[in-house]
Structure 1
């Protein structure tokens, strides 16, 4: 019996060793953009250990990187990076010629399918979920981006934020790390400047608040989606809830003041700017003082 146990242990150790070798070899070829040898390693890896979690993330990275294409394109909007300015005979700018990044949808779909398989087998692997969300953000597929975030938030209530990361290592401070990362995605939506995506932000914030009702950042996000559309009463409601959770949060207090200012209630706006001065850091205090001066004119 002891001999059998030792044999099993040796087999398991050898499998772990092979997995790590495949992983490091794949990463080596990634650094040189050698997609031929990347696929060769993945094919051998799949034969040796088809349900290795790192195999799924590596396949995803392979297809995602392969799908990324770059080429020249003419646009009327000024692109980032190097570009050629196109002018007419009157020296007026008529357009720009610059580099444009786009993604081959067929290759990208293969990657998304692989990471879906990985998530199904390893639902606690947060890097898999975040990798998929990142890819959807890169192609501006905001509906699926939002849907995946909501699925992940819902699952966080089931695994109690006991997340793992690369090589199935436990993610420390799971709850805090998870919520701060979701906040970054909310900021990503906001920074698109597309008002149509305020609904996406609202859906994510409401989903988070369903499981984390005291999450002040989500209460603030929810507020923003209403304040920016002129629905000031609905915008103030989550901020006032946030104030009850932390009466000294000067960012919340300043936002409440701004909400009342937009609504036209000068008295309440001044009251909350005064609270901001009481609890805020120096820059927030200075901003609040300037706002009070304006409101009292």
Structure 2
């Protein structure tokens, strides 16, 4: 995983304000990768203000970064980061060397212990929850990743979406911000492979319990059924989404696709025509291609 992705997490959790001296100093040392100075500063910070919310976040970042161990892998295919092809004396390709990361489990456990203390003490701090979810995604622990997302959704309902961010600042449009990030996590599960379908469905169902008009989750739920060949169940969710957003080209295209897979040619044509009418250029062009196929 590229280093800039980790840096994004660190900046995300740090927030934009470095008004607090310890916090500002710590994140500067984090960028400089001076682990000895980081540790010394954290100890001073803990003595001065042991229950500071930003201290929990700093410790989490410290241990999460420390847990990442760069390694070099030899493989038959060049699918890793910065792959280097290896050849034999005849010039034939025999393998690839690529960079990858592993994680020290003991250091990871410490990272999660600190962020859990922060989450339990400062229940409205969404940056802490999202930081933990991010880390679980990076280590590909998708069961805990999913469970943590569901806990966040349920807590959001209890809090009536009154989330805060770094330095306990209130978020603007917290519900929209929250749901848009949840959608990104579902996409991450989708990209991880078909064995994540059950977890995608669980998240979608949890969102819909509290936000029944959330079109993205209705679509996500439909995708999980569609991937399993249950097109009637998929259409049930998509037709609900259509009632909420009748001119959404993505929803219409998904409806058309499910009807096509089901073998309902007339309804597939109907919805691909609507998609072509309402979609952007790429969506329209793809729908027109489908219509040519179905009408031949």
TM-score normalised by structure 1 residue count? 0.90
Distance in 2, matches of 1:92 and 1:231, equals 47
Task: For residue 99 of structure 1, give the secondary structure of its aligned residue in structure 2.
Answer: strand
* 1:48-63 paired onto structure 2 within 5 Å: 48-63=48-63
Distance in 1, matches of 2:94 and 2:210, equals 51
Aligned counterpart, 2:4: none
Distance in 1, matches of 2:97 and 2:138, equals 21
* 1:1-297 paired onto structure 2 within 5 Å: 20-87=20-87, 93-192=93-192, 194-297=193-296
Q: Retained in 2: the 8 A contact 1:19–1:49?
A: no
Q: Retained in 2: the 8 A contact 1:67–1:108?
A: yes
Higher relative contact order (CA 8 A, sep 6+): 2
Distance in 2, matches of 1:275 and 1:232, equals 20
Distance in 2, matches of 1:78 and 1:264, equals 40
Aligned residues: 279
Query: 1:95–1:26: structure 2 CA closer, same or farther, 3 Å change rule?
Result: same
Give the superposed CA RMSD.
1.6
Larger Rg: 1
Q: Retained in 2: the 8 A contact 1:19–1:52?
A: no
Query: 1:77–1:54: structure 2 CA closer, same or farther, 3 Å change rule?
Result: same
Q: Retained in 1: the 8 A contact 2:146–2:199?
A: yes
Distance in 2, matches of 1:83 and 1:281, equals 37
Extract unaligned runs of 5+ from structure 1.
1-17
Task: For residue 84 of structure 1, give the secondary structure of its aligned residue in structure 2.
Answer: strand
TM-score normalised by structure 2 residue count? 0.90
Distance in 2, matches of 1:178 and 1:116, equals 19
